[in-house]
Structures are given as structure tokens and as C-alpha cells.
Amino acid sequence: MKLDLVEYCQDKGLQSEWSLNGCQLGNVNLIVGKNATGKSKILRAINLISGLLSGDASLKPDRMSREWKLTFDSHDADNNKVYILIVDQGQVVKENFTIGSKNYLDRNESGVGVIWAEKLQASIDFQTPTDEVAAFQRRDSIQHPVFDEIYNWASSLNYYQFGTDLGRRKLAVNSPIRKITKNINLRDGDNVIEVFKLGKSQLHQSFIEAIKLDMSLIGYNISDIGIKTPSLLFSDEEDEVFDKVQLKCLYVQESDLKEKTEQGLISQGMFRALSLIIQINYSLLAKKPSCILIDDIGEGLDFERASAMIDVLISKAQTGLVQLVMTTNDRFIMNGVPLEYWSVIERKPGLAKLHNIDNSKQIFEDFKFTGLNNFDFFATQFYVEGFGNKEQIDQ
């Protein structure tokens, strides 16, 4: 199931209203725009709805008024899927799910609604708590199997903020006293050590080799990667605690160095690339692909490595196994991504309108004949006259 169109609005009818228009998505997407145009807000909106649909406890309806309309598999008119959710003050106001012309779920703010029961071949009445999303709470592989697809899409979506440390400051804990049985939250981009351990135990050497290959393509040549006890000094008082709780960190063996480099000593840019590659390769090799959202892709990397990272990510998305949505305002990243993958944000008061090769084809086609770099799309009259105005560009 692939997300094709996102429509979103928050604080509708208020002075703080903000909405998203024209967010059409393909397999590879680069959302570009100046600062404060809504790039990160778009990804957060998609991540939030995926959290609600997957039951992520860290992402619950808040006090804001929010409306989503998600369209999946729109290429098939008879089987395109449309999910609508409206929440306000932490309560679900409306929820609806259709496939083609058939309605599978419709509920109101009281939690009362109708839902299609597959075995009964009939719509039945139901009621669910007003602060719960029925598409998640009513999952049932026998009576309501259509919601499994939504859940699988949402639970395997990953959101990475490339400008953060992506788990560099987080160590894993091994305790011989009690076995840690909690499930790993694969949606948490800081859980890179746990994801690495899981990938190594399930996928073995193929997982390690995939990481090493991708890192070499980016320009980081490593001969080994693993987990070890960090080289930390503890006071006498802390020694007793350390004996009971063993901390673990990632390390890499760089080909041109004699000693292993622990994660705390790996450069921020290199660790961001490593963390992202570990987590994406696990998702793909474990056959849990969905949608990968990456905010500020390439932040902290030099031009060559940022460009190589983009090439690696695009090659994975072009297989059709994963949908890639990235944001940037970096000229090097823009120059490295073909315009066919671009969605350009036109900023208007309370609105982020996206333009791409589908809905603004003539503007994109005309620019290709200029011979200019992609980044110059912002600096030329093609952008100014096509989407926005000069004052907006200069902000």
C-alpha cells in the first residue's frame, strides 16, 4: 500500500490555521523550500497520523484541531483507499475509510458508527471510546482485515530527523539480572543499537555486508561494525552499578585506522549516515518496508558524501520496496536530485502549496531547457513567476 496524496489542516477556522495542499507523493520525493515554509511540519503531520494508526503510545491526539485525508493506491480507481480523520481537543470527531466506492468505516464524535464485517458480509453498528482511533482499535483479521493494511503501513513508517544525533548519545543496556523482554520500537530513530542487534541476530552477515557496502558508497570505508562495552571511567561508587548493568555502544573499524572507533568518537555526520543506513537496511532486508521520512537530509555531511547518500537512498526507493520522502533547503542536495522528484513549497498565509512535475508540469519542463543547476530554480523567474513572489523567496 503506497501513500499517494496527503491533505492536512490544523486549527481550521482560527487565526493560526495552517493547511497543506497539493502533496502528491511518488516512490521518491524531495520537498524543497526556504526556512519556515512548512517542510518539517509536513513530515510531522504524516508521522503523527501514522502513530495514531499504529497505536504508538508516544503519539496521541493532542488539544489541537487536526484534519487528515490520506489517499493510497490512487492509480486503481476501483481499489483506491481513502482514510479521513478529524481530531479536536484530544477526541476523534470524525473517522471514515473507503475502498473504491465501498465504505468500510464511518464513525462520529460520540464514538458510534458502522463498520463492515467481512464474514457477515454486512455493515454492523459499533461504538468505540471517543479518544481512540477505530481503524487501530477495531483491527480484526477475520471480520475487518482491511485495517491490517493500514496498520502495516503505519507501523512500518519511519521518521528520521537527520539534523539530530540519531541515537549517537544513547547507549544500549544489557542486564544479567533480568531479561529485557520489551519490544523494540522501530519507529524511534534513536534505537539504532537495538536495531543493529536485531538485524545481526536475524539477518546475520548479509546485514553487516549491506551496511559496509552502503557506507563505502558514501565514502566511509569500514572493515567491521559491531557492539562493545564503551571505554568509560567510573567512580568506585559507580562500579557496583556498572557490574550489574552493562552498557553497550556501536563501534566501527575504519579501514585506515588500527583501533576501533566507538560511537561517541564517531563524527556527527558519519554517525548520522551510519544510523540511517543501519535502520533502513534492517527495514528492507527484514521485508518491513513502508514509507521513510527524512527531514533535513544530508545535514552535517560534505557535498560529496551528501550527494552519495542521496544516490544510495534513491536507488533503494527505485526498487519499489520503500517510499522515500525527504526535505531539504541545501543547494548541494537539490542539485543532486532530479527535478522529477521535487515538490516545491509555495508559501502563502496559512498555507503550504506544493508544486511538482504532475501539477505544475509546464513550469518544470520549461526550466529544464535553461541548462541551469536545479538550485537555480529558486533564483530564476521560473520560480518567482511560476509559484510565488519575490518577497516570499527572499524570506
Amino acid 240: pLDDT = 47
Amino acid 227: pLDDT = 94
Amino acid 87: pLDDT = 96
In eight-state DSSP terms, residue 144 is: B
Owner of C-alpha cell 585506515: 256
The closest of 112, 135, 106 to 1, measured between CA atoms, is: 135
Q: Consecutive 10-residue runs of the chain (395 residues): their mean pLDDT?
A: 95 94 94 88 96 84 89 88 95 96 96 96 95 94 94 93 91 58 75 93 94 96 94 51 68 94 93 95 85 93 91 90 92 88 89 90 83 77 52 37
Q: Which fold has domain 1-157+290-395?
A: Rossmann fold (3.40.50)
Could you tell me which residues are beta bridge partners of residue 94? 86
> Residue 250 class from Cβ within 10 Å (0-12 exposed, 13-18 middle, 19+ buried)?
buried
Assess contact for 332 and 307: CB atoms under 8 A. yes
Assess contact for 106 and 124: CB atoms under 8 A. no
Amino acid 15: pLDDT = 92
End-to-end CA distance of the chain: 38
Amino acid 242: pLDDT = 46
- Cell numbers for 246: 552493562
The residue ranges of every structural domain in the chain are 1-157+290-395, 168-288
Q: Measured between alpha carbons, how far is 311 from 297 in angstroms, rounded to an integer?
A: 12
Q: Measured between alpha carbons, how far is 156 from 290 in angstroms, rounded to an integer?
A: 6
**Helix/strand/coil for 369:** coil
- For 175, phi then psi, to 5°, come to -115, 120
Assess contact for 222 and 215: CB atoms under 8 A. yes
